[in-house]
Every structure is written in structure tokens, then in C-alpha cells.
């Protein structure tokens, strides 16, 4: 039998998809391989087909018990001898499975990385003929991956203990360069066939919205898309429960899913959704891995996720059938803080040293910052995503919220120069509120008290109003013409780039939606709600800037090895 016979006989397909053959051929010729393909591309087949053609056993490392179970079940149904070894089995069951495996009963054995260290498994592996070791969801080996698992590092030790090194293949949907390098490096892949297939999902429409009432937005959206299947992702269980309740009240047939629910309840929920009994699923990010539902027409993120990797993976569950689908992110500055809190309270592996933990936290923070930029961006959203994943893009997709909006661009370089003079004059002692107030020539007791009214910058941008000045400062912070101190005071500081403005080498442009909110004349900041939102925005900004200044620190640290084996 050759690879085509296998494809037809066991999987029922007559053609390989993009990239599959290249990887299969490489492995069959004895080479290591790294396949980076988006979710749903068909990575499993890339190791399952060669596993059946190689003489010995293929061990597949997989992070989730449920994934292993599903895959083994599917393989068994197709008549392929496969088994899994993980903590859902008793010691007796494991011993029995390994006994059978040693006799050559199985061609494919799925194992959790923790298993590799155990005596029984190692004994088995030393005696058996292992043709290939495959690492699925290989980004878990990298601290740059969105869900780093220290236990994935055990794979390296395991490989070293085998007398004959098998072919090593690895697969992931995370394509950032950091992760890619970590996989090759940490796993010790030997001149691997590296295959990266296109990450663009042209049928998906991306948008970021900032509705005043997110609930309203979601419920209206669902009403406007009756009988369509969709997922609403929230960052907390509380949000899931609350939104689910509202849908119940409105008799929207919906299901919910989060880790606080019982196993049976979750299974039922998932099934209701997959079989279209409930077309709408409201869930935390606990939902979705390994779910193969092709007709999801929209994915709405009620909160901003923690990273662009997470976002693209979750949003990417829409439109798996290739038909058009929408991915909408509902942004509010509080999301940044909620996420920062979630990151800080995330349970960390006790094996880590303080220094390693600090490095992980910084990387998390950096990813959050990049996610936040996505939400604030006024440019092509698809290009933003693709560039992040290392792919070139023209930046003009015509199928995202930003490409469809009409923007007005205003050159504010002259104003930026005055802002820089003001920050210089303040000698790093004040934050954005004092600076904007001073430039606007506001008559506040505080400003008089600080002596701001005697500054030469006082009132130098009086024609703009404080909001507009803040908007320009914000833009300058995003582009690195200014920065803030990484503490709760967020004091404005000049950067190495600040001088470029005065030297005529830099340009600051504010981009805003035509006829959008920000181009309306400024209302007096008198109403309570207005003030509330101001506070939120400046707090969001403060945090956001703290994240930004961590960046250089992270770059500095990158010089040191990110992992210790």
C-alpha cells in the first residue's frame, strides 16, 4: 500500500490537502518535520498516514485527554489499531495496554507528556520499535506559545533515553517566529522539513466594535441572524451565566459551556450545539478545542482575549465550511484590566523559579499588549493578524471592519511638537491629565496650584480641547514618540524617538472614522457618565502604557535562555 491507498482506504479521501503530502513524504524518507497549519487544515492526517506506512510504532504526544479519546475512537472506527495512555486509565489498564503495545498490537499510541517519564512507559519504549514520535499542539513546548506546558519539556528527556532516535515530527497552528524557533530548538529537530501553509482565512470578516451596551449588541446580532449558528466567547464564567440567562429570557435556543459546569452538563451542552439543537453557544475559552463544527456563521468575543493567538484560534472556529462568516470583537478598555488580573492570578507551575515566572508573566503581558493594539488599530485587521503570524499582507483586504470604514486622516505633527515641548517642560513629573489640561489652558485649581499656568506650554493648544489633545498623546504613545513610567502614576516621558518630530523626520497622523464619535465637537465634560468613561479610558491607557514599557525589558531578557530543561 502507498500513501494514496491509505488515504482512501482508512480515511475515505481521494486527495491530499495543501501541504499534507510534503510533510508525509518527508517523514517517510526518514526526515524530521514541522508542520505549521491553521486549525482545521488537517494536521492529524500528516502523521496518521505515515504512521501506517512506517515499520514500527508511532507515539503521538497530545495535551488533552478528550482530544486523545476522540482521535483514537475515530481511528479505531476506521479499522486502525490505536490506543491512548493517560491519567484517565488505571495503572492496571495502562500496564495491559503497554503489554499489548509491546506485542505490536497498535500502530499509533497517543500519550500525555507526563506519561513519558514513568518507568513503565520508558521500559516499554526502550524495547519496542518506535518509528516516529509526533508532537501535536507543539506550541505547548514554547514559553512564547499561548499555553506553555512544562510537561512538554519531558519529551526531550524521553527522546534522549531511547537507544535509537525515532523520526520526530511536530505540528501546531501557532506560527509566530518565536514559537517556531523554540519548537525546532527545544525538540532538537534535525534539519526538519518546515512547512507553513497560508494562515489567511479569506471567508472570515473581522471587526472590532465598541458598543455602549455589549449585551444589547449581542442580543440584537443574534436576532438579526436567526437560525444561524454562532459562538459568544466571554472571559469569565460570570459573564457566560449572565448572558445565557438573558438569552433564556428571550427564548433564544442557546447552550452554555464553562469549566464551572459538571462534566455531564458540559457534554450535553456541547452536543446540543454541535447537532444544532441550540444554534447559539455562550462559553468561556474552555469551549472549542477539538470541536469540528463546520457551519458556525459567527464568533463574537464579548471580551477581548488574552492574546492574538487565542483570538485567531477562537475566531477561526467560524466558517470552517469555507462559507462567509463574521468574527466580531467587542472591545472596552476594562477588558485590558480584567485580562491583566486573570494573567496575574493564573496558576503557575510550582517547578518554576521566580525568574522564570517573571519571564513568563512578561511574555503574557506582551501578548496582551499586542492584542490591545489590534483593538485600537485603525488599519486593516486581517493584515494585522497575518503580519503577526509572520505572513506578508497588502493591508487592504476589503473584508474587515476597518477596510470597510471610511477614515479621515489628520496630520497632527505640528501639535505633536507642542506636546513634546510641554512634556519636556514638565521634566517627567506629570501624567496625561495634567499635560492635556496644561496644553488646553484649562482653568483648574490643581493646575494653578502646580504652577502650570506659568508654563510656556500653558494654553499652547487651547483651540483643540483636552479630549483631542489626549487622543493625540495616545497616538504618540502607540507610535513610541512618548512613553510613560511603568508604575501607577504613568508619568509622561520623552523617548529616543521624540526628537524626530522636531527634526522633521517623524510624522503623527490621527486616523478616525468619518463622521464617527471622535470627530464630533466636544461636549462639556459635565455629565456623570462622561466623567466615568473618561476615568475608564485613562485607566485603560495607563495600563496599556505600562505594558508598552515592559517591552524593552522583555527584549533585554530575551537574551537569556527562556527554558531550563
* Interface with ligand ADP (CB under 6 A): 13, 15-17, 20, 37, 39-45, 292
Q: Which does 459 bind (CB under 5 to 8 A by kind): Mg ion, ligand ADP, none?
A: none
Q: Which does 13 bind (CB under 5 to 8 A by kind): Mg ion, ligand ADP, none?
A: ligand ADP
What beta strand segments (E) does 324-457 contain? 325-330, 407-411
- Measured from the CB of residue 390, what is the shortest distance to ligand ADP in angstroms? 18
Alpha helices per DSSP H over 398-515: 401-404, 413-426, 432-440, 445-450, 466-479, 498-502
6-to-2, 9, 316, 477 alpha-carbon distances in Å: 6, 5, 29, 56
- Measured from the CB of residue 39, what is the shortest distance to ligand ADP in angstroms? 4
Nearer CB in complex with ligand ADP: 193/466: 193
- Measured from the CB of residue 40, what is the shortest distance to ligand ADP in angstroms? 5
- Measured from the CB of residue 50, what is the shortest distance to Mg ion in angstroms? 16
- Measured from the CB of residue 37, what is the shortest distance to Mg ion in angstroms? 9
Distance, CA of 254 to CA of 246 (rounded, Å): 10
Q: Which does 415 bind (CB under 5 to 8 A by kind): ligand ADP, Mg ion, none?
A: none
- ∠ CA(24), CA(25), CA(26), 5° rounding? 90
Q: Which residues of 371-407 are buried (b: 16+ CB within 10 A; e: fewer)?
A: bbbbbeebebbbbbbbebbeeebeeebebbbbbeeee
Distance, CA of 330 to CA of 318 (rounded, Å): 16
- Measured from the CB of residue 200, what is the shortest distance to ligand ADP in angstroms? 15
Nearer CB in complex with ligand ADP: 43/256: 43
Nearer CB in complex with ligand ADP: 65/89: 65
Burial class (CB in 10 A: 0-12, 13-18, 19+), 239: buried
Nearer CB in complex with ligand ADP: 171/244: 171
In the complex, residue closest to ligand ADP by CB: 42
Nearer CB in complex with ligand ADP: 21/500: 21
Q: Name the CA dihedral angle for 217, 220, 225, 231, rounded to a multiple of 10 degrees.
A: 40
Nearer CB in complex with ligand ADP: 289/536: 289
SS (H, E, C) 285-315: CCCCCCCCCCCEEEEEECCCCCCHHHHHHHH
Distance, CA of 247 to CA of 252 (rounded, Å): 5
Q: Please say whether the dihedral angle defined by the alpha carbons of residues 550, 555, 556 and 557, taken in this order, is positive or negative.
A: positive
Residue with grid cell 495607563, as numbered in its chain: 542
Helices (H) and strands (E) in the chain, counts: 22, 17
- Measured from the CB of residue 326, what is the shortest distance to Mg ion in angstroms? 24
- Measured from the CB of residue 11, what is the shortest distance to ligand ADP in angstroms? 7
The site for Mg ion, by CB under 5 A, has a size of 1
Q: Mark the segment that binds Mg ion (CB under 5 A) among 37-45, 74-82, 468-476, 483-491.
A: 37-45
Nearer CB in complex with ligand ADP: 45/325: 45
- Measured from the CB of residue 391, what is the shortest distance to ligand ADP in angstroms? 17
Q: Mark the segment that binds Mg ion (CB under 5 A) among 39-47, 114-122, 261-269, 357-365.
A: 39-47
Q: Which does 489 bind (CB under 5 to 8 A by kind): ligand ADP, Mg ion, none?
A: none
- Measured from the CB of residue 46, what is the shortest distance to ligand ADP in angstroms? 8
Q: Which does 201 bind (CB under 5 to 8 A by kind): Mg ion, ligand ADP, none?
A: none
Q: Which does 452 bind (CB under 5 to 8 A by kind): Mg ion, ligand ADP, none?
A: none
Cell of residue 238, nine digits: 460570570
Distance, CA of 249 to CA of 258 (rounded, Å): 20
Nearer CB in complex with Mg ion: 134/402: 134
Return the percent helix, strand and coil in the chain, to nearest 5.
50, 15, 40
Nearer CB in complex with ligand ADP: 6/447: 6
The dihedrals phi and psi of 86, each to the nearest 5 degrees, come to: -155, -175
Nearer CB in complex with ligand ADP: 174/474: 174
Nearer CB in complex with Mg ion: 43/201: 43
- Measured from the CB of residue 136, what is the shortest distance to Mg ion in angstroms? 6
Cβ neighbours, 10 Å, residue 56:
15
Q: Which does 403 bind (CB under 5 to 8 A by kind): Mg ion, ligand ADP, none?
A: none
Q: Mark the segment that binds Mg ion (CB under 5 A) among 38-46, 104-112, 195-203, 498-506.
A: 38-46
35-to-292, 310, 340, 402 alpha-carbon distances in Å: 20, 19, 32, 32
Q: Which does 17 bind (CB under 5 to 8 A by kind): ligand ADP, Mg ion, none?
A: ligand ADP
Q: Which does 292 bind (CB under 5 to 8 A by kind): ligand ADP, Mg ion, none?
A: ligand ADP
Task: Give yes or no for a contact between 490 and 542, defined as CB atoms under 8 angstroms apart.
Answer: yes
Q: Among 35, 3, 7, which Cα is nearest to 135's?
A: 35
Show the binding pattern over residues 42-61: x = contacts Mg ion (CB under 5 A), - = does not: -x------------------
Residues that bind Mg ion (CB under 5 A): 43
Amino acid at each position: 500500500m502507498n500513501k494514496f491507498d491509505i488515504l482512501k482506504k482508512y480515511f475515505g479521501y481521494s486527495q491530499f490537502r495543501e501541504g499534507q503530502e510534503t510533510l508525509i513524504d518527508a517523514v517517510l524518507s526518514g526526515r524530521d518535520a514541522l508542520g505549521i497549519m491553521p486549525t482545521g487544515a488537517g494536521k492529524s492526517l500528516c502523521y496518521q498516514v505515515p504512521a501506517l506506512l512506517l515499520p514500527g510504532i508511532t507515539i503521538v504526544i497530545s495535551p488533552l485527554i478528550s482530544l486523545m479519546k476522540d482521535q483514537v475512537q475515530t481511528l479505531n472506527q476506521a479499522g486502525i489499531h490505536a490506543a491512548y495512555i493517560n491519567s484517565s486509565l488505571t495503572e492496571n489498564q495502562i500496564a495491559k495496554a503497554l503489554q499489548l503495545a509491546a506485542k505490536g498490537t497498535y500502530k499509533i499510541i497517543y500519550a500525555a507528556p507526563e506519561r513519558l517519564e514513568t518507568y513503565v512507559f520508558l521500559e516499554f519504549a526502550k524495547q519496542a520499535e518506535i518509528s516516529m514520535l509526533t508532537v501535536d499542539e507543539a506550541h505547548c513546548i514554547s514559553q512564547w506559545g499561548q499555553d506553555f506546558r512544562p510537561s512538554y519539556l519531558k519529551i526531550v528527556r524521553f527522546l534522549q533515553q531511547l537507544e535509537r532516535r525515532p523520526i520526530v515530527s511536530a505540528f501546531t497552528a501557532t506560527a509566530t517566529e518565536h514559537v517556531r524557533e523554540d519548537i525546532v530548538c527545544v525538540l532538537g529537530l534535525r534539519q526538519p522539513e518546515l512547512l507553513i501553509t497560508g494562515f489567511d482565512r479569506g471567508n472570515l470578516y473581522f471587526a472590532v466594535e465598541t458598543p455602549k451596551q455589549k449585551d444589547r449588541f449581542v442580543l440584537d446580532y443574534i436576532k438579526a441572524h436567526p437560525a444561524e449558528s454562532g459562538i459568544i466567547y466571554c472571559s469569565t464564567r460570570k459573564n457566560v451565566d449572565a448572558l445565557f440567562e438573558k438569552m433564556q429570557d428571550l427564548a433564544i435556543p442557546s447552550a452554555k459551556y464553562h469549566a464551572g459546569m459538571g462534566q455531564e452538563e458540559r457534554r450535553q451542552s456541547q452536543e446540543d450545539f454541535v447537532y444544532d439543537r441550540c444554534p447559539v453557544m455562550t462559553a468561556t475559552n474552555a469551549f472549542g478545542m477539538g470541536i469540528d463544527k463546520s457551519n458556525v456563521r459567527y464568533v463574537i468575543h464579548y471580551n477581548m482575549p488574552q492574546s492574538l493567538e487565542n483570538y485567531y484560534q477562537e475566531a477561526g472556529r467560524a466558517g470552517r465550511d469555507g462559507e462567509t462568516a463574521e468574527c466580531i470583537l467587542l472591545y472596552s478598555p476594562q477588558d485590558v484590566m480584567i485580562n491583566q488580573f486573570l494573567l496575574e492570578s493564573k496558576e503557575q507551575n510550582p517547578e518554576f523559579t521566580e525568574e522564570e515566572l517573571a519571564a513568563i508573566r512578561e511574555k503574557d503581558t506582551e501578548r496582551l499588549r499586542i492584542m490591545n493594539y489590534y483593538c485600537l488599530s485603525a488599519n486593516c485587521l486581517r493584515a494585522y493578524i497575518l503580519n503577526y503570524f509572520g505572513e506578508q499582507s497588502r493591508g487592504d483586504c476589503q473584508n474587515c471592519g476597518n477596510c470597510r470604514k471610511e477614515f479621515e486622516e489628520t496630520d497632527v505633527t505640528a501639535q505633536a511638537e507642542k506636546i513634546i515641548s510641554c512634556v519636556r517642560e514638565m521634566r517627567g513629573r506629570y501624567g496625561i491629565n495634567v499635560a492635556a489640561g496644561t496644553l488646553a489652558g484649562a482653568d483648574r485649581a490643581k493646575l494653578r496650584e502646580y504652577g502650570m499656568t506659568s508654563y510656556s506650554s500653558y494654553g499652547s493648544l487651547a483651540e483643540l480641547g483636552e479630549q483631542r489633545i489626549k487622543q493625540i498623546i495616545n497616538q504618540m504613545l502607540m507610535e513610541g514618540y512618548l512613553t510613560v513610567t511603568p508604575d501607577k502614576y504613568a508619568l509622561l516621558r520623552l523617548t529616543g524617538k521624540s526628537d524626530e518630530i522636531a527634526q522633521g523626520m517623524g510624522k503623527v497622523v490621527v486616523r478616525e472614522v468619518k463622521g464617527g464619535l471622535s470627530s464630533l465637537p466636544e461636549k462639556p465634560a459635565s455629565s456623570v457618565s462622561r466623567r466615568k468613561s473618561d476615568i475608564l479610558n485613562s485607566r485603560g491607557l495607563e495600563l496599556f502604557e505600562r505594558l508598552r514599557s515592559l517591552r524593552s525589558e522583555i527584549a533585554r531578557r530575551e537574551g537569556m535562555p527562556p527554558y531550563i530543561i
